[in-house]
Amino acid sequence: FLLRVQENYRNNPFHNFRHSFCVSQMMYVLIHGCRLQEVLSKRDICVLLTACVCHDLDHPGFNNTYQINSRSELAVRYNDMSPLENHHCAVSFKILSSPECNIFANLTPEEFKELRGDMIILILATDMARHA
Catalytic residue among 15, 55, 87, 88: 15
How far apart are the C-alpha atoms of 43 and 33, rounded to whole Å? Answer: 18
The DSSP annotation for 42-99 comes to HHHHHHHHHHHHHTTTT--SS-HHHHHHTT-HHHHHTTTSSHHHHHHHHHHHHHHTSG
Contact 129, 82 (CB under 8 A): yes
Contact 91, 8 (CB under 8 A): yes
Exposure class string for 35-53: b at 16+ Cβ within 10 A, else e: eeeeeeeeeebbbbbbbbb
15 carries an active-site annotation: yes
Residues marked as catalytic: 15
